[in-house]
Amino acid sequence: APIKVTKICCIGAGYVGGPTCAVIAVKCPHIKVTIVDLNQSRIDAWNSPDFKLPIYEPGLENVVREARGRNLFFSTNVDAAIEEADLIFVSVNTPTKKSGVGAGSAADLNYVELATRRIATVANSSKIVVEKSTVPCRTAESMRTILEANSKPNCRFDILSNPEFLAEGTAITDLFNPDRVLIGSLQTPEGLSACNSLSAVYANWVPQERILTVGLWSSELSKLAANAMLAQRISSINALSAICEATGANIDEVAHAIGYDSRVGPKFLKASVGFGGSCFQKDILNLVYLSESCHLPEVAAYWRQVVEMNEYQKRRFSKRVVDTLFNTITGKRIAVLGFAFKADTGDTRESAAITLIKDFHSERALVNIYDPQVEHNQIWSDLADAIPQTPVDSIKKQVTICSSALEACKDAEAVVIATEWKEFREIDWEAVYAGMNKPAFVFDGRLLIDADKLRKIGFKVTTIGRAEVA
């Protein structure tokens, strides 16, 4: 019979492990959930008395308030949590490799391997080990080999793949009410039994028909494919936005018309300055690397084009700003509203805003940045990474971080909307206009604002997927 899970350990207290396992704790009061991380300051933040959590996610604080200290614990004592658990989620980071074989596209599995080896070293009893980080196909197989080669007598390890599909900004609602939960296992009696154990955890709140069980490799590939197909929709609509700008068609109208086809559906068809986030680019590049490893160059090229279109979209947008401002932005002040990769998150990984600011910086513009959530230190470290060989002090001569949209727009020539924060729609645009140099330009990279309203105030407005208005 499948073992009944009573203690869960989650290795990695990041954007995935933290919210996911906090929600499991809330929904399963009979299970003790311990989330561990090597990063002491991250764990301290999860444990902070005033709930200053390390990530910003709507609804997360309530979840942590409800379960922390009851059956949800955060700790740096990785070994103790592994030891007592019957089920272990591995939810560590899997960044794209920066050097070595596959640099720029393969996943860096060092963290997964180290966590796996730690489990093998510490465990004195049988465990179900669940791969939760997004990893290329067959990682579960490697994890299994490492665990089996290092296990003590009487310890068996069953490996499951259980990719997470939550989106940042809506993580808690996604977790409470997932479209589906996907569990991959070996199709052996032991594998299926482990699968049932994990399935029983989710069954505490997820309807049975939404819990999909498949083979290990299908599960791993489905996660990469799901993200690749979502990103592909955005690149497709962004490619069409370029045609709209050249022809006078309106991308919003086109997307609306396309999305009405029930075979296509309306979601994820919003043209933008380019997708960001920790997953889309990384997962597509993993898929590209996987395709190449399988000697499928045409398949690799097909998926790579999704990322290239995204790069093109960002470049195209920066160029449009420069072109519109009479072909030079040198010495001009540009307000960039939004730095996060999407609204309702403080996460900046692969944010399109970074690329835009880098481009504006290299044109020697002055840039004012405002984002309601992103920490200032994060902005400086992202810009230092994006603009290498330039000391931060020197970047600071051109870039200023502001504490409100109004302040950022003061004395600017142009406002660029890079993130779709709702508050940008509610800005006092009359006041913004009064404080700007004229002509005052607005570039809407998110189809966020009412362009006609702004034109009435006097702004010159440029929107993604719309031709210039004379």
Which amino acids are annotated as binding site for substrate, given as ranges? 164-168, 223-227, 263, 270-276, 341-342, 446
CA–CA separation, 340 vs 1, rounded Å?
47
Strands of 196-344, DSSP E: 211-215, 333-337
One residue of 42, 342, 361, 446 binding ligand ADP per CB under 6 A: 42
230 forms part of the interface with ligand UDX (CB under 6 A): yes
CA–CA separation, 399 vs 41, rounded Å?
28
Which residues carry a binding-site annotation for NAD(+)? 12-17, 37, 42, 92-96, 133-134, 168, 279-282, 349
Residue 42 site contact among ligand ADP, ligand UDX, none (CB < 5 to 8 Å, cut-off depends on kind): ligand ADP
Q: Are strands 211-215 and 366-370 parallel, antiparallel or unpaired?
A: unpaired
**In terms of CB distance, is 78 or 287 closer to ligand ADP?**
78
Listing DSSP states for 238-291 in one string gives HHHHHHHHHHS--HHHHHHHHHTSTTT-STT----S---SSSHHHHHHHHHHHH
Phi-psi group of 263: left, alpha or beta (phi > 0 → left; psi -120 to 50 → alpha; rest → beta) = alpha
**Half-sphere exposure of 450 toward its Cβ, with a 13 Å CA cutoff?**
9
One residue of 5, 8, 14, 159 binding ligand ADP per CB under 6 A: 14
Count of residues engaged in binding ligand ADP, rule: CB under 6 A: 22
Among 55, 6, 13, 8, CA closest to 34 = 8
Residue 78 site contact among ligand ADP, ligand UDX, none (CB < 5 to 8 Å, cut-off depends on kind): ligand ADP
Question: Of 120-179, which residues contact ligand ADP (CB under 6 A)?
Answer: 133
CA 338 to chain CA centroid, nearest Å? 16
CB 329 within 8 A of CB 365: yes
CB 72 within 8 A of CB 33: yes
**In terms of CB distance, is 340 or 427 closer to ligand UDX?**
340
CA–CA separation, 290 vs 300, rounded Å?
8
CA–CA separation, 429 vs 55, rounded Å?
31
Q: How many CB atoms lie within 10 A of CB 428?
A: 10
Residue 413 Cβ, how far from ligand UDX at the closest point, in Å? 26
Question: Of 248-307, which residues contact ligand ADP (CB under 6 A)?
Answer: 278
One residue of 22, 23, 60, 92 binding ligand ADP per CB under 6 A: 92
Our separate counts of H helices and E strands in the chain read 18, 14
Residue 296 site contact among ligand ADP, ligand UDX, none (CB < 5 to 8 Å, cut-off depends on kind): none
Count of residues engaged in binding ligand UDX, rule: CB under 6 A: 19
Please choose, out of 35-43, 142-150, 316-324, 351-359, the segment that lies near ligand ADP by the rule CB under 6 A: 35-43
Contact mark string toward ligand UDX, 256..285, x via CB under 6 A: ------------xxx-x--xxx-xx-----
- Which residues are marked as active site? 279
12 forms part of the interface with ligand ADP (CB under 6 A): yes
**In terms of CB distance, is 102 or 338 closer to ligand UDX?**
338
**In terms of CB distance, is 123 or 288 closer to ligand UDX?**
288
Residue 269 site contact among ligand UDX, ligand ADP, none (CB < 5 to 8 Å, cut-off depends on kind): ligand UDX
CA–CA separation, 119 vs 146, rounded Å?
10
Please choose, out of 158-166, 204-212, 214-222, 301-309, the segment that lies near ligand UDX by the rule CB under 6 A: 158-166
Residue 286 site contact among ligand ADP, ligand UDX, none (CB < 5 to 8 Å, cut-off depends on kind): none
408 forms part of the interface with ligand ADP (CB under 6 A): no
Listing DSSP states for 17-45 in one string gives HHHHHHHHHHH-TTSEEEEE-S-HHHHHH
Please choose, out of 88-96, 101-109, 393-401, 461-469, the segment that lies near ligand ADP by the rule CB under 6 A: 88-96
Would you call 462 helix, strand, or coil by DSSP? strand
